Structure 1
Amino acid sequence: ENGAGKTTLMNVLFGAYAPDAGEILVQGRPVTINNSADALAAGIGMVHQHFHLAPRLSVLENLLIGIPGKSGRIDRAGGLARLAEIGRQHGLTLDPDLPVS
């Protein structure tokens, strides 16, 4: 924990933050990473040191991070069903499309 920017770099590589400048190369080829799905498609995964929500993503998108769907796309219907199940189990009403906070 020295402020060198390791966490910021990883957040850029995983699509949580947009880069200010420069480029990202994966095996020598430039890639554009706008979100975690882009990162996963490029072969970049991330395990957070501490529990961390992705502030640019919705409640549902945070729930589905790292869960593969059909053809590498988010399984929105499956995610909504799982979110409703979690809500029932814990007595919560969650709007899946709100920004996480």
Structure 2
Amino acid sequence: MRINLTKKDLVNVLYMRVGFSKQIIENLVDEFFSIIVLNLLKKKSVKISKFGTFLIRSKNSRVGRNPKTKEEKEISKRDVVLFKPSKEFKELLNNIRKNAS
């Protein structure tokens, strides 16, 4: 069983369900992801109704430690992307888990 869903897997699933050519589906998937990225860069958040919200959060620089060598190193300031699932998405997942048990 595969753990990750790759872009290729997503293109194949959509190809089987929609019936467009794989090239068209791949272009749609690429465009969808680029729209999310561009909006994150502009507005710092993207809300997809009944799915969730992608947010950009800034993290300050800090001192980190290598657990093996105990060597300290500064971790630079950076932006990270967070995902907060919607209430409907959480309920859907919980209902699927209940029914699968």
The TM-score, its normalising length taken from structure 2, stands at: 0.27
Larger relative contact order (Cα-Cα within 8 Å, sequence gap ≥ 6): 1
Larger strand fraction of residues: 2
Structure with greater helix share of residues: 2
